[in-house]
Amino acid sequence: MSRSPDPPHDSSAEAERQLALARQRLAAHVENTPLIVIEWDHESRVCGWNAQAERVFGWSAAEVLGKRPFDWRFVHESVTSAVEQMVGDAAAGMQPRSVTVTPNYTKAGEVVWCEWHSSIFYDGDGRMVSSLSLALDVTPYRTTATALARSQARLRAALDGARMLAWDLDLLTNRWETTVEVADFYGLPRGPDYSDPQFALRAIHPDDVPTVLAGRQHAIDTGAALRYEFRGRVPAADGGPRWFATHGTVLRDDSGRPERIVAVTSDITERKRSDEQREALNRQFRDAAKWESLGVLAGGVAHDFNNILTVVLGSAALARRGLPPNSSTVAYLDQIEQSCRRAAEVCRQMLAYSGRNQGGAARIDLTPLVREAAPLLAGPAGSAPIRYELDDALPLAPADATQVRQVLMNLVTNAVESLGPGAGEVVVRTSAEEVPAGVPNGLFHLAPDPGRYVCLTVQDTGRGMSPEVRAKMFDPFYSTKFTGRGLGLAAVLGTVRAHRGGIRVETAPGAGTTVTVYWPAPAEQVAAPPPPPAGAVAANLALVIDDELFVREVTASILEELGFAPALAADGASGIELFHRNREAIKVAVIDVVMPGMTGDQVLKTLRLFAPGLPVLLVSGFTDSRIMTADLGARTEFLQKPFHPEDLMKAVRRLVQM
């Protein structure tokens, strides 16, 4: 039985059916895709508008079909020119495809940001047939990116205001990211690729690179927090070091392997300087307390010794007067007097160290004083040359000439001893300087108050000093020389402190040393009081007030040789009472400054109330600062203990013009 043949297959109908199905599927995909799909004809009119376009922009397909891009409020005015250019290029066959991100308006007038991917279909003659635009609404991403950018900008501003650099180092790629330019933060030259951390190590002072690397490695190895401080290679504007501090954390992957370091580096220069200044101030307070306690001890010992030496020296001189010139005893008395003078010099150094040996309130011209001392300086200098740079137009300074000379001698001696054999020189310089307010105390060993000063500078080209030696150079218990040299520079410090001056030391190993002493020079220059009128004094009373019995007795014996009858008192109150009982007869008073109860300056003020013109000689083993800063008035002098009888006689003669 034969089968009937199959009916002929209609291939064209099947093709049409398959094509219809494909169009149906494409249309469904276009409607369901999350992408905006817009088709434009050859005149750039809308011929396709999918559901996502309607959802995003708000217009239905019926509202926009047949419209060109600018026929309704769709293109944002900020990109009008760019869209016009793109449409023109597409029509001219110049831009078959493009990718842009633009703002667009919705039907409600809101702005949405879209990422557009456009393609053009051309016929065989190169004419545009249609174009297709696929777009993604990126408004949420852009909003997030904008917020992130603003947050990063605020973070950068905050870090910049706090002088901080935040950084993220990838330990796997050895690259890092920073919130600000490394060159700007560290003051480095622009150009090199500082994104390489190894290259960025050039920002660190070479001496501190090991510290930084060790700090990072320690945090990586142990998991501890990242913490270290270092100096920058580029100094601060004033030439001092710039300091930085880093704090951070090492991040690890799931296996515990170190992955990256996230940290912040801060500029701590100001904090470091504040710490240094605070430490310097604390050191000054500690030194001041030490100097004060030692000064009290030294001053007290010197005062007692001076009283004893006054008795010994005065008694020896008086004993000499009762001996014949050829007596063998005179030689022994000479030795006693010479020993007393040497002991008195030691006491003066102790008083200078304690800051209680201010001397008189005379005003000195520093430059002539240095010139006069030049022959004396030749002795300590030996073969070392001394060069003088002296200013002849200096203001006067209220200072004791003897003490200034001693300061000069000590500084020159110290400078000469720092020179190598047969090499170097010493420079002695005088100048005037104004010390302004706000000068850091760290520049001075003894900081002067703001004001006008005359300066004595001694500079040498010797071996210089290390910071440790410099810190102790004025310490009375420290010396780089052999023992038994006396107080030396410690006495210099005490003298300058007593004069309310300052000391600046500039030194470094191998670079020599420059010591500058600042002597206050107030603007007003007070003329010396005129000498009292001449006139002889008959054998009248001389008031002697001193709490030391033997000093009173020696002083009385000396005054008797001048023709005075001594009236003796052991304290201030008794002396004032004695004065009132003999006011008309007392022609001169010799008063000890330091006494228990009523002090010599208090006695003087009381006597001046009743006898303004009474000649008064103040004597003391050391001088309290109140005496030197007080206005003692005319016909008043000060005599340092121990004194030779001749010194007392000369002072009394000057006062009473005998």
Supply the pLDDT for residue 535.
Answer: 39
CB 244 within 8 A of CB 267: yes
- Is residue 308 included in any domain, yes or no? no
Tokens 């603007």 correspond to 523
Q: Which of 127, 194, 171 is nearest to 259 (CA)?
A: 171
- Is residue 278 included in any domain, yes or no? no
Per the structure block, which two tokens stand in for 538? 């008959």
Q: What is the pTM of this model?
A: 0.39
For residue 451, give every residue at least 6 positions away whose Cβ sits within 8 Å of its Cβ, in sequence order, or none: 434, 435, 520, 522
Residues 578 and 507 in one domain: no
CB 428 within 8 A of CB 386: yes
Among residues 463, 486, 520, the one where a domain terminates is: 520
Cα 138 from Cα 117, distance rounded (Å): 13
β-strand pairing of 616-620 with 502-507:
unpaired
Supply the pLDDT for residue 485.
Answer: 44
Supply the pLDDT for residue 22.
Answer: 77
Which residues pair with residue 131 across a beta bridge? 40, 120
Tokens 């297959």 correspond to 9
CA dihedral sign of residues 156, 158, 160, 166: negative
CA dihedral of residues 218, 221, 223, 224 (deg, nearest 10): -20
3-class secondary-structure state, position 369? helix
Q: Which of 566, 577, 549 is nearest to 652 (CA)?
A: 566
Cα 622 from Cα 412, distance rounded (Å): 26
Among residues 473, 491, 520, the one where a domain terminates is: 520
CB 587 within 8 A of CB 635: no
Query: Domain holding 198: CATH number?
Result: 3.30.450.20
Q: Return the amino acid letter for 154.
A: R
Looking at residue 533, the DSSP 8-state letter turns out to be P
Query: Domain holding 648: CATH number?
Result: 3.40.50.2300
CA dihedral sign of residues 59, 65, 66, 69: positive
Among residues 491, 520, 549, the one where a domain terminates is: 520
Supply the pLDDT for residue 457.
Answer: 93
For residue 410, give every residue at least 6 positions away whose Cβ sits within 8 Å of its Cβ, in sequence order, or none: 488, 489, 491, 492
Residues 509 and 393 in one domain: yes
Supply the pLDDT for residue 335.
Answer: 73
Supply the pLDDT for residue 230.
Answer: 93
Residues 159 and 236 in one domain: yes
**Length reported for the chain:** 658
Supply the pLDDT for residue 410.
Answer: 84
Residues 510 and 394 in one domain: yes
- Is residue 276 included in any domain, yes or no? no
β-strand pairing of 111-122 with 97-105:
antiparallel
Q: Return the amino acid letter for 30.
A: V
β-strand pairing of 397-398 with 363-364:
antiparallel
For residue 596, give every residue at least 6 positions away whose Cβ sits within 8 Å of its Cβ, in sequence order, or none: 547, 571
CB 426 within 8 A of CB 389: no
- Is residue 379 included in any domain, yes or no? yes
Cα 75 from Cα 553, distance rounded (Å): 117
Supply the pLDDT for residue 489.
Answer: 76
3-class secondary-structure state, position 521? coil
SS3 content of the chain, % helix, strand, coil (to 5): 45, 25, 35
Cα 235 from Cα 226, distance rounded (Å): 24
Residues 132 and 156 in one domain: no
Instruction: Classify residue 253 as exposed, middle or buried by CB count within 10 Å of its CB (0-12, 13-18, 19+).
Output: exposed
- Is residue 80 included in any domain, yes or no? yes
Cα 243 from Cα 273, distance rounded (Å): 9
CA dihedral sign of residues 470, 476, 478, 484: positive
Which residues pair with residue 568 across a beta bridge? 544
CB 373 within 8 A of CB 401: no
Residues 405 and 515 in one domain: yes
Domain count, the chain: 4
Residues 72 and 212 in one domain: no
The boundaries of the domain holding residue 546 are 541-656
Supply the pLDDT for residue 443.
Answer: 73
Instruction: Report the 10 Å Cβ neighbour count for 418.
Output: 20
Using omega within 30 degrees of 0 as the cis cutoff, is the peptide bond preceding 642 cis?
yes
Residues 236 and 129 in one domain: no
List per-block mean pLDDT (blocks of 10 residues) for the chain, which spans 658 residues.
Answer: 56 79 77 87 91 93 92 92 87 84 93 92 86 90 76 60 75 83 85 77 90 92 91 87 92 90 89 82 69 63 69 73 74 73 66 53 81 76 79 86 83 82 82 83 78 91 82 66 53 80 87 90 52 45 88 85 88 88 90 85 87 89 54 76 84 83
Residues 127 and 186 in one domain: no
Q: Which of 485, 486, 465 is nearest to 353 (CA)?
A: 486
Taking each helix axis from N to C end, the angle separating 269-321 and 549-561, rounded to the nearest 10 degrees, works out to: 60
For residue 198, give every residue at least 6 positions away whose Cβ sits within 8 Å of its Cβ, in sequence order, or none: 174
Q: Which of 182, 246, 253, 195 is nearest to 219 (CA)?
A: 246
- Is residue 415 included in any domain, yes or no? yes
Q: Return the amino acid letter for 14.
A: E
Instruction: Report the 10 Å Cβ neighbour count for 598.
Output: 16
3-class secondary-structure state, position 100? strand
- Is residue 556 included in any domain, yes or no? yes
Start-to-end Cα distance in the chain: 180
Residues 211 and 115 in one domain: no
- Is residue 529 included in any domain, yes or no? no
Residues 118 and 167 in one domain: no
CB 316 within 8 A of CB 333: yes
Query: Domain holding 441: CATH number?
Result: 3.30.565.10
Which residues pair with residue 518 across a beta bridge? 455, 502
Residues 380 and 491 in one domain: yes
Residue 626 sits at φ, ψ, to 5 deg, of: -65, -35
Q: Which of 524, 366, 550, 518 is nearest to 453 (CA)?
A: 518
Looking at residue 598, the DSSP 8-state letter turns out to be S
